[in-house]
């Protein structure tokens, strides 16, 4: 069974690129536009890995990670997508984010990060 | 005398004395009470005498109710000259016994106030009986003021007034308003209707208020009035419930009205809702007026009305010509309300007459700020609400511009006055991109349609405003989550490039399923188009069918 990945980003185009990228690896992808939608998706079904933007309206990445960890524990790796030099990445890591990638992301880098964390998880 | 079409026709009842003063009868619920005492109080120059005289002239000329003027103060030549300035031929009315003028002394009122003994009452009775006099003005009771403080004189005065009423007359007195005694004083409880006139010299504004109306309905509050060539005209600040004003708004046809700007129509899901109110709010110089002009122009060949407070028709025509909008060809009429002195009710009433008379369906008010000058927020809201109710009942669509004083912060709605009046709110703002200010447009509220809430760039061309696709590189600005614009732009352009670069490498894998390779090539093509589109817009290059694809490619 292919791994299930939840990708959360408020930019429509970035969600599309993430979907196209992950579909190449035949991951099962679920998209959400902000932290609120992300939590709803997580409550509706389990994921093997989560990719999450930091700056988003309604509920940003730091708050999402905090709430997600409180509800679902530390097991699922969360890769943050962040603009370079964003101070909030520290807060996201403190809240329980596993890794961070700079935006714009390079698909090869994303694949490498996903592979690494999925393996570590197993 | 000026008719006032906006006011409802009130039933002519026998127990009411129509004052004939435009606006006043509506405020009084039909007129003064017959055979009851009315008093007009006000400071010097407030308009008491003019108003009282107008009631007499109207009675004599419009309602077949001759009148009598008892005056302590003026010599005939001066009184007749003052009246002539209002177009009233007092001399002719006097000679005709339709308006008899009598110059009197205080003791003529107070001595032996029985109908047989008092000479003045004998004369008045003769007029009432022989010539049908029905109204009587005493100008002014202040002349009796100090005398009336004595019990005996006061009793005599009350008897005098009772006698007048018994003769079938409706007495109307004038009196100086003394701030130290307020509006009470000795005469307040002798009268049934007390009208206070005030003059605010600083704001060049006159108001009238019914502060007492024993046993009859009236519209409370201070109503602006003017003294013009036709005498006094009162502008009630709110209006009795006319059937039309209370009617349900006309059902909106399903077809939206074009804003005149295709990109904005797209943001609005087709356009404005017919019969709705649109508020266009923004800083100075963000195309508020041009957007409004597009709306009127797109209604051609139907006539649109522009209510202007600052610019003349010629100025507007000149400034919009540069945007490809020809006022004359577009059948836009300009209602100039430039003086800034007219009460807002007068302006809106006159505009309403024009709109009704001409069957106009599109109206622009430019701007809410100017309309508000000299009014409190609540007065303004009330006046605008009244106006909108009337127009909406006839299916008229109204666009109101509003100047914002500063760049809005997290929530532009908080900067916008009277947002509750609008069905659709459009925000025009400025965003700094790489040290350059870009004009942006966003729909903050839209009745009858979804609001995308996104921010788009808006710019002027010589054939009108153009709203572009989603604003390049800027998201969340209105929501307060503004990303670094430059970073966002880099991300928007580089992300598809990174995708294409990496996927080119992957597509070279000889073991790849041909179907997957084909899909990857299609996706790379889509992303390449996207970059071309973004760069083309950024560098103002014409697009050659290379617009970035919408999302959700298969």
Q: pLDDT digit string (tens) for A33-81?
A: 999 999 999 999 999 999 999 988 889 999 999 999 999 999 999 999 9
What is the domain range of residue B518? 485-538
Please tell me whether residues B184 and B252 are part of one structural domain: no
Say yes or no for a CB contact (<8 Å) between A16 and B498. Answer: no
Task: Assess contact for B236 and B7: CB atoms under 8 A.
Answer: yes
Task: Assess contact for B451 and B266: CB atoms under 8 A.
Answer: no
Q: Which residue of A has its CA nearest to B474?
A: A11
Q: CA B348, CA B306: separation in Å to the nearest integer?
A: 12
CA–CA min distance A96, chain B (Å): 23
In a domain, B98, yes or no: yes
The alpha-carbon radius of gyration of chain A (Å, integer) is 13
Q: Counting one residue from A and one from B, how many pairs have CB atoms under 8 Å apart?
A: 62
Say yes or no for a CB contact (<8 Å) between A20 and B505. Answer: no
In a domain, B3, yes or no: no
Say yes or no for a CB contact (<8 Å) between B481 and A84. Answer: no
B95's CB contacts (< 8 A; 6+ apart) are none
Question: Please, which residues 423-482 of chain B have a Cβ atom closer than 8 Å to chain A?
Answer: 475-476, 479, 481
**Nearest neighbour of A13 by CB, restricted to B476, B484, B551:** B551
CB of B487 less than 8 A from some CB of A: yes
Task: Assess contact for B220 and B237: CB atoms under 8 A.
Answer: no
In a domain, B553, yes or no: no
Cβ contacts of A14 on chain B, cutoff 8 Å:
491, 495
Domains: count for chain A: 1
Task: Assess contact for B138 and B70: CB atoms under 8 A.
Answer: yes
pLDDT reported for residue B222:
81
Cβ contacts of A31 on chain B, cutoff 8 Å:
none
> Helices marked H in chain A — which ranges?
12-24, 35-44, 61-72, 88-95, 107-121
Q: How many helices (H) and strands (E) does chain B have?
A: 18, 20
CA–CA min distance A66, chain B (Å): 19
In a domain, B546, yes or no: no
In a domain, B512, yes or no: yes
User: CATH number for the domain including A48?
Assistant: 3.40.50.2300
In the numeric block, which tokens belong to residue B132?
């049908």
Output phi, psi for B460, to 5 deg. Answer: -95, 140
In a domain, B544, yes or no: no
Please tell me whether residues B406 and B280 are part of one structural domain: yes
Angle between helices A61-72 and A35-44 (to 10 degrees): 20
Please tell me whether residues B329 and B217 are part of one structural domain: no
pLDDT reported for residue B486:
58
Cβ contacts of A107 on chain B, cutoff 8 Å:
498-499, 502-503, 506
B231 phi-psi bin (left φ>0, alpha ψ -120 to 50, beta other): left
CB of A87 less than 8 A from some CB of B: no
Question: What ipTM did this prediction achieve?
Answer: 0.92
Task: Assess contact for A19 and A110: CB atoms under 8 A.
Answer: no
Strands (E), B324-385: 332-336, 362-366
Residue the block writes with tokens 């998880």: A121
Task: Assess contact for B250 and B395: CB atoms under 8 A.
Answer: yes
CA–CA min distance B537, chain A (Å): 17
Please tell me whether residues B227 and B250 are part of one structural domain: no
Please tell me whether residues B33 and B76 are part of one structural domain: yes
CA–CA min distance B425, chain A (Å): 21
What is the domain range of residue A54? 4-121
Q: For CA atoms B164, B170, B175, B180, give the dihedral sign.
A: positive
**Nearest Cα residue to B477 out of B507, B501, B508, B441:** B441
Q: Which residue of B has its CA nearest to A58?
A: B479
In the numeric block, which tokens belong to residue B211?
């502060």
Please tell me whether residues B409 and B303 are part of one structural domain: yes
Q: CA B45, CA B325: separation in Å to the nearest integer?
A: 48
What is the residue-wise DSSP string for B419-461? GGG-SEEEEEEEEEETTEEEEEEEEEEETTS------EEEEEE
**Mutation choice for B interface testing from A29, A60, A103 by most B CBs within 10 A:** A103
Q: CA B179, CA B486: separation in Å to the nearest integer?
A: 65
Residue the block writes with tokens 């002014």: B140
Residue the block writes with tokens 């009014």: B375
Low-confidence ranges of chain B (pLDDT < 70): 1-14, 74, 113-115, 145-146, 149, 178-189, 201-204, 215, 238-254, 328, 338-341, 372, 374, 406-415, 432-436, 448-454, 469-488, 540-554
User: CATH number for the domain including B450?
Assistant: 3.40.50.300
From residue B144, how far is each of B35, B74, B239 by CA, in Å?
A: 21, 15, 37
Output phi, psi for B166, to 5 deg. Answer: -65, -25
Say yes or no for a CB contact (<8 Å) between B476 and A105. Answer: no
pLDDT reported for residue B551:
45
Domains: count for chain B: 3
> Coil, helix or strand for A50?
strand
Please tell me whether residues B305 and B191 are part of one structural domain: no
Start-to-end CA distance of chain A, whole Å, equals 14
CB of A26 less than 8 A from some CB of B: no
CB of A103 less than 8 A from some CB of B: yes
User: CATH number for the domain including B500?
Assistant: 1.10.287
Cβ contacts of A15 on chain B, cutoff 8 Å:
551
Q: How many helices (H) and strands (E) does chain A have?
A: 5, 5
């Amino acid at each position: 069974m292919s791994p299930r990945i939840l990708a959360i980003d408020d930019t429509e185009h970035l969600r599309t690129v993430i979907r196209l990228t992950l579909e190449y690896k035949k991951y099962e992808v679920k998209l959400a536009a902000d932290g609120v939608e992300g939590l709803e998706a997580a409550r509706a079904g389990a994921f093997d890995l989560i990719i999450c933007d930091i700056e988003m309206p309604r509920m940003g990445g730091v708050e999402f990670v905090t709430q997600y960890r409180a509800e679902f524990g530390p097991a699922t790796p969360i890769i943050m997508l962040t603009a370079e030099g964003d101070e909030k990445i520290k807060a996201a890591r403190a809240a329980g984010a596993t890794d961070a990638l700079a935006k714009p992301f390079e698909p090869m880098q994303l694949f490498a990060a996903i592979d690494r964390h999925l393996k570590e998880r197993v | 005398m000026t008719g006032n079409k906006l006011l409802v026709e009130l039933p002519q009842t026998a127990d009411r004395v129509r004052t004939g003063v435009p606006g006043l009868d509506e405020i009084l619920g039909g007129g003064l009470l017959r055979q009851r005492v009315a008093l007009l109080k006000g400071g010097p120059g407030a308009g008491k005498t003019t108003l009282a005289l107008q009631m007499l002239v109207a009675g004599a000329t419009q309602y077949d109710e001759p009148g009598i003027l008892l005056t302590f103060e003026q010599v005939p030549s001066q009184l007749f000259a003052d009246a002539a300035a209002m177009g009233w031929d007092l001399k002719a009315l006097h000679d005709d016994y339709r308006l008899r003028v009598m110059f009197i002394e205080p003791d003529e009122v107070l001595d032996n106030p029985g109908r047989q003994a008092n000479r003045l009452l004998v004369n008045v009775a003769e007029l009432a009986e022989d010539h049908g006099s029905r109204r009587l003005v005493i100008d002014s009771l202040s002349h009796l003021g100090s005398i009336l403080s004595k019990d005996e004189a006061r009793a005599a005065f009350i008897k005098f007034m009772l006698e007048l009423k018994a003769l079938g007359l409706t007495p109307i007195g004038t009196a100086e308003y003394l701030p130290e005694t307020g509006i009470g004083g000795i005469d307040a409880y002798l009268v049934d209707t007390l009208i206070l006139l005030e003059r605010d010299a600083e704001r060049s504004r006159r108001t009238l208020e019914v502060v007492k109306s024993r046993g009859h309905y009236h519209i409370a509050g201070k109503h602006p009035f003017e003294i013009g060539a036709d005498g006094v005209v009162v502008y009630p600040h709110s209006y009795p419930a006319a059937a039309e004003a209370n009617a349900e708004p006309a059902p909106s046809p399903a077809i939206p009205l074009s804003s005149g700007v295709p990109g904005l129509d797209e943001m609005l899901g087709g356009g404005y809702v017919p019969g709705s109110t649109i508020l266009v709010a923004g800083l100075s110089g963000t195309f508020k007026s041009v957007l409004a002009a597009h709306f009127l122009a797109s209604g051609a060949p139907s006539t649109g009305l522009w209510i202007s407070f600052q610019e003349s028709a010629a100025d507007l025509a000149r400034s919009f010509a540069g945007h490809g909008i020809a006022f004359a060809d577009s059948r836009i009429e300009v209602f100039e309300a430039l003086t800034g002195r007219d009460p807002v009710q007068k302006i809106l009433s006159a505009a309403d007459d024009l709109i009704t008379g001409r069957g106009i369906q599109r109206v622009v008010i430019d701007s809410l700020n100017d309309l508000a000058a000299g009014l409190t927020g609540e007065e303004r809201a009330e006046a605008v609400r009244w106006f909108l109710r009337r127009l909406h009942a006839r299916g008229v669509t109204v666009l109101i511009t509003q100047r914002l004083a500063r760049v809005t912060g997290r929530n532009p709605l908080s900067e916008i006055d009277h947002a509750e009046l609008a069905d659709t709110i459009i925000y025009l703002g400025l965003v700094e991109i790489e040290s350059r200010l870009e004009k942006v447009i966003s729909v903050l509220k839209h009745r009858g349609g979804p609001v995308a809430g996104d921010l788009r760039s808006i710019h002027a061309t010589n054939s009108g405003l153009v709203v572009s696709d989603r604003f390049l590189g800027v998201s969340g600005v209105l929501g307060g989550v503004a990303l670094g614009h430059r970073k966002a732009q880099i991300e928007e352009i580089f992300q598809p490039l990174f995708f294409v670069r990496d996927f080119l490498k992957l597509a070279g894998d000889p073991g790849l399923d041909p179907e997957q390779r084909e899909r990857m090539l299609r996706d790379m093509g889509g992303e390449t188009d996207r970059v071309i589109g973004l760069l083309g817009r950024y560098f103002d290059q014409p697009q050659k069918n290379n617009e970035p694809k919408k999302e959700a490619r298969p």
